[in-house]
Amino acid sequence: MNHSARNQTTPSNNTIPQAMLILLNLIALSFFILILPNLRKHKKPPPHRKPTPVQPLHPPPLPVQAGQDLWPNLVPEICAKTSGGDSISWSGKEVLKTQDCNFCTRPSLVGQQRLSYNRIDVIFAPHNECFRELKILCVVHLFSSKKVQYFYPIRREEDSKMIEKISSLSSASEAVNLSELLGSYQLYHLLERIFKEMDEFYDEIISDHLDPNKPKYEHKDFVDVLLQLKEERRFSFDLTLDHIKAVLMNIIVAGTDTSAAIAVWTMTELMKNPSIMKKLQDELRSVLKDKSFVEETDVQKLEFFQAVVKETFRLHPATPLLVAHEAVQKCTVQGYDVLPETSVFINAWAIGSDPPSWREPELFMPERFLGNSINFTGQDFEFIPFGAGRRICPGMLTGIAGLELALANLLHTFDWKVPTDVHEEDIDYDGVPGVTMHKKNPLCLVATKRTHDT
């Protein structure tokens, strides 16, 4: 997660934020532009039904709202609700587990294809041998539990800088724009221009890592590891600089951007629910005492904190509609014929807000996860913010580690309140449409640093 604040007034300083939002919105737009050629006639009508509104306190993310009326006319969304009382989690389970082999590839959409260097990445690649080897490379060398621990010093350094920045704003009695500080991006412009900007950005990163005069650090980062693997030539395909750029795009889109979104949504919910905020900070300060920094080993002791993170993922999945799957071959799902190249969208938000699976799903209620074994690792199909099966997010452990470390330190180090000219009820849940669902209106809060005896 990139915690450095960004200047959003000067275009030359805004290249990465602009590039990131256009990247996300172009990917989302390509779903709608190119889905029609993939439709086929079915023996039975497609299994659509307009979802029942279940969330008056937390409006559904905008693409999901649009899906209530628009998507049934466009694509067979297998994850739509098909009857009033049945849980919809079984729909996702059939696509992502029972028939995972039939839906493990991705549709070829123009925005995704351009920004993933012709689909040689991990997120948008077709399910082929190159994808399988690249996924193994990423899981083993970048995202394994061992590598999550290896990269911890880098996360710690970044979070320390974030705490210093907020402390400076706190001392000056200035409000903290958490949406900006945590990396919530806003973008503009067109595909080719943004691709060029992002490509230049990746080139700059790679050149910096290849510089023989670059300072040597004890811990290598993701780019160091990828460049080393390129030199070692271990794979059946040539790992090129374009592969490395495509993986960097994945890390930014599926790692940095989604973690930033979830962090802001968590802080939003805590400000709207002060009793939960108090309970969470009481746990942090009871367990950690006067420690000035929360370490990753401390996070595992924080049961209620982890329940809060899970509840945020349930109500505000960073990717409300999981990245589209595509049928590899003709198959039958719940009595419906699905032809090859049919795009299938899994509605993670609807599954996490489904009344048969969740009591009072419209409420932010972290206690539902206490003493509950349900987790987001892809085994519990009523809760799949990271997907499941062959295309589950490979960077899940890394993303969670960065998110939890940042949030725990924000909440342990500072007390938070709204600015004097804002009321808590003015904080809204409006989102920005895109693959990643960011908060539309920036979350600006006043931080007061706690004093520690040590």
CATH number for the domain that contains residue 343: 1.10.630.10
Would you place residue 238 in the very low, low, confident or very high pLDDT band (cuts 50, 70, 90)? confident
Encoded tokens for 278? 């108090």
Encoded tokens for 57? 């306190």
Report, as an integer, the average pLDDT of 142-167: 90
Q: What is the pLDDT of residue 377?
A: 93
- Flag whether pLDDT at 310 surpasses 60: yes
Number of domains within the chain: 1
Q: Strand, coil or helix: what is 257?
A: helix
Kindly report whether the global pTM for this prediction surpasses the value 0.85: no
Q: In what order do the strands lie in the sheet with 414-417?
A: 176-177, 444-449, 414-417
Residue range 248-268, pLDDT digits in tens? 888 876 667 788 899 999 999
- Flag whether pLDDT at 452 surpasses 70: no
Q: Is residue 62 part of a domain?
A: yes
- Flag whether pLDDT at 122 surpasses 50: yes
How far, in Å, CA of 146 to CA of 137, rounded?
14
Q: Strand, coil or helix: what is 432?
A: strand
Report, as an integer, the average pLDDT of 20-31: 45
Q: Is residue 1 part of a domain?
A: no
Q: Residue holding tokens 């932010």? A: 364
Q: What is the pLDDT of residue 435?
A: 75
CA diameter of the chain: 71
Print the domain residue range for 340: 11-449
Q: Is residue 4 part of a domain?
A: no
Residue range 73-103, pLDDT digits in tens? 333 344 333 334 456 677 889 999 999 999 9
Q: Is residue 2 part of a domain?
A: no
Stronger pLDDT, 67 or 135, i.e. the higher one: 135
Q: What is the pLDDT of residue 220?
A: 80
Q: Is residue 81 part of a domain?
A: yes
Q: Is residue 281 part of a domain?
A: yes
Would you place residue 111 in the very low, low, confident or very high pLDDT band (cuts 50, 70, 90)? confident
DSSP string, 4-27: -----S-GGG-HHHHHHHHHHHHH
Cα–Cα nearest to 20, from 256, 354, 325, 273: 256
Q: Is residue 202 part of a domain?
A: yes
393 has binding-site annotation? yes
Q: Hey, CA dihedral for 41, 47, 52, 54, is it positive or negative?
A: negative
Residue range 278-300, pLDDT digits in tens? 999 999 999 998 899 999 999 99
- Flag whether pLDDT at 148 surpasses 50: yes
Report, as an integer, the average pLDDT of 390-407: 93
Q: What is the pLDDT of residue 71?
A: 38
Report, as an integer, the average pLDDT of 206-224: 83
Q: What is the pLDDT of residue 193?
A: 54
With 0-12 CB in 10 A as exposed, 13-18 as middle and 19+ as buried, what is 19? Answer: buried
Q: Is residue 398 part of a domain?
A: yes
What mean pLDDT, rounded, does the chain reach?
A: 79
